[in-house]
Structure 1
């Protein structure tokens, strides 16, 4: 086997040489320099080893975003263990299932957290500031030298398409976002990164962990889940230069933004997690003067594989293929589709997961021969520009044609009284038809003829088959903890 660099060492050592006293993380009033981070990581590795953690062992981490999270992740990687960052807002039974599925050796969490209560494995107590008794351990510990296929990280998907799936990544995978995506968006060590997505999700982990540390930048962490007004306060306080968020959050920010809202420190607003509606892009540009740069990635890729370039973002378009990736659009027979036709996106590039954890059949279905990964996303492409049509399992077959819910939603979102919407399928006399769930602006009443107005509005822009047969006003749309709309819940509604 060929040895590779330990990911924790690769992320930390260059920064220790260049700028040990530079802040790596800002959280509240806490400032964690690269020197402080490296010392805490080595001590954490020693603590985990003293607790019986061996190379290859899975280490569950249930912590709010704060200094302790990158310390624990890097500390586990440092000794060759495989950390598992988990959301702090799961249900007890979800923690129990994930920890059992992963075969976790220990859990790092506050002892009063539901994950610790639900766990039947040893719990290493840890507060948001760091694990208890850390300074009693030596901060000089050589990093473990991993083999090429040794695991550095086990991520669990958000479960938006069913039970969460474990996605293992190797040490070399952790560095790939910096080698490809970071250059695409022009990151440097002078950047201050703020990701509204948390470290327990691939999008937030790529931004605030892999990219921030690989470039020697500074990242902002917030242990709470701030609302839009609080986010604006954090932007005003820390003056980030790069801001990562999901489309839902940009929509929420538009509701509280004022013409004099301070955004002056941000040079790049980035969106991923799901498709950014063209209406949101245009409203943001009109309100702030800034474009939102959109891309798409996945937990399986641990990277963004299609993206707009800063200064070239196009409303309604996901962008062009990112460096280091190849893509194909295929039909149900895995045959390449003609230009402009919708197809299922396959990607290939270094750093993608080669299998799911404990799911051989799903792995065979998704991780194809020759390194191709079936993403589950439908796209059209023309002149190298890719436009997201939705998840393959969200597409509707209406009158013999595929209808993209996203295309219908993009039209609805241009109506001045529509705040949010989601389109799913329903059965009418045994045939599939689109239906729409709409969050309306204040003042629109459920008993009004708003549905009829929306139906006429959609018919002005789309063919009859694409017009929803039902419009239901709702107070809010069901979402996952990452902000994705839970379409399955809408279908069941």
Structure 2
């Protein structure tokens, strides 16, 4: 294969089903999408975006998002994906770490006030940002110059062909892990395109028979990987701009959808809308990530009603849909996270966390992965990259699991990272925001199960003037996504600690126990 076989452009097949996409009932053919990519590339060139430049994309699921990614690849530029649930502190961090010079942003979407969020970011926080490009409006109130993203309406001079190096970064995802601020996971055209082809092949996707309901955000690897896999297959993709159960149910029912991917909570909400015994007879695979308690019971109910859930595994570093269960697996095995790697060239091993030796099959340890889908590294963070990747190329996932007959099982996340609202969140990110508030000397955050939902709870040590919980919550709501705002904030005199050879460590398990005791007392 030539290098161009692994470009994003190579995924756009002409001998495929049409339309390529359906956005809110509006079809977009493959020829139309190719034209939109040309137009977006010309627009980027007109904005002075070229090789190595960073463009932050802060959009919901819309054709502009995908066209910008493919156009950036053509220009040799890099897209930094911004989560639409992010608020000022998170957006500022991403813009600063990425060094984005341009950000394409929504004018408004439902209850999200993008302008108000941007107003809470100072120019000094993001010195590289030069300009905002607004989709859906001429401008928004902001301290940066604004232009209109009018690539599809105005004829810009076509940019000369400048296909980017397929082994250089083209897309940056955010991932928290256990760090205090999100790291940026860099992927190239080769890692994205080769994995997309592997997904299409492993799932045996037929463009004339299969279709996807894309209900996950493009800004994350779960949504983007499934999208690219079906583009590579040449199958039609029905897109939700943001997940809502009612329109998802409607599309599944009316358009003979065969595949969809999402969280257990998404599928739970969709099933709750109908009493029909087998509401979606055309569905073949619903790949799901189990984030909420009771997911096994949900899987059993879904199975009984003809909605086939398949466990899977992925991360920003090795991409989503890295692996998935097979139809021939026993039901109990099929719904477990993990499964069989999509790529025949992927390798999975497990390392005993106590001995440091590779573990035998069935023995739990840290999952390590080598695969064509593996990331290039953490953008502008060589130290974190060195820590994450073994000398032989295997990525240390930080996840615990075990090997099982050629497949593997994901069991839990190592360390203190929390899964909130379907996203992996580092406690330090929330703790830093709390410690910046008046009246807070120190803070610790843990996750607990509250009424069947994973929520975070904070403990703060006060200064001489103790803070008011209402004031802290209001401040955090301004600065962070809603799912990161603690359900409770408790003021205490000191954190429970233990002495070890490596110093004093805070007992997070004890903090979690304290939370449950206090809630029970309430």
* TM bracket, shorter-chain basis: 0.7 to 0.9
Task: Answer whether contact 2:73 2:164 (CA < 8 A) is retained.
Answer: no
Structure 2: how far apart are the matches of 1:273 and 1:164? 22
Change (3 A) 1:304 1:215: same
Structure 1 unaligned blocks of 5 or more: 396-404, 407-419, 421-433, 442-479
Question: Counterparts of 1:213-362 in structure 2 under 5 Å?
Answer: 213-226=231-244, 228-260=245-277, 262-272=279-289, 277-286=295-304, 288-312=305-329, 314-315=331-332, 316-317=335-336, 318-322=338-342, 323-332=344-353, 333-362=355-384
| Number of the residue aligned with 2:33 | 37
Range with bigger deviation, 358-367 or 36-45: 358-367
| Number of the residue aligned with 1:196 | 215
Q: 1:76-98, CA deviations, whole angstroms, 9 ceiling, x for partnerless residues?
A: 22211111221212102211110
1:127 to 128, 136, 156: 136
- Report deviation, 1:148: 4.9
| Number of the residue aligned with 2:504 | none
Question: Counterparts of 1:19-168 in structure 2 under 5 Å?
Answer: 19=16, 22-111=18-107, 113-114=114-115, 117=119, 118=121, 120-127=129-136, 131-132=149-150, 134-138=152-156, 141-157=159-175, 162-168=180-186
Structure 2: how far apart are the matches of 1:268 and 1:142? 42
| Number of the residue aligned with 2:449 | 437
Superposition CA RMSD, Å:
3.6
Secondary structure of 1:146 counterpart: coil
Structure 2: how far apart are the matches of 1:484 and 1:253? 25
Structure 2: how far apart are the matches of 1:176 and 1:8? 9
Matched residue pairs, number?
412
Secondary structure of 1:335 counterpart: coil
Structure 2: how far apart are the matches of 1:310 and 1:143? 44
- Report deviation, 1:160: 7.7
| Number of the residue aligned with 1:8 | 8
Structure 2 unaligned blocks of 5 or more: 109-113, 138-147, 423-445, 454-479, 488-507, 516-522
Q: 1:375-422, CA deviations, whole angstroms, 9 ceiling, x for partnerless residues?
A: 111112333342222011269xxxxxxxxx99xxxxxxxxxxxxx9xx
Structure 1: how far apart are the matches of 2:98 and 2:287? 32
Secondary structure of 1:377 counterpart: strand
Structure 1: how far apart are the matches of 2:68 and 2:31? 15
Task: Answer whether contact 2:212 2:230 (CA < 8 A) is retained.
Answer: yes
Structure 2: how far apart are the matches of 1:484 and 1:380? 30
Range with bigger deviation, 50-59 or 271-280: 271-280
Change (3 A) 1:142 1:108: same
TM-score, normalised to structure 2's length?
A: 0.70
Change (3 A) 1:324 1:314: farther
Structure 1: how far apart are the matches of 2:229 and 2:7? 12
Structure 2: how far apart are the matches of 1:82 and 1:138? 21
| Number of the residue aligned with 1:466 | none
TM-score, normalised to structure 1's length?
A: 0.74
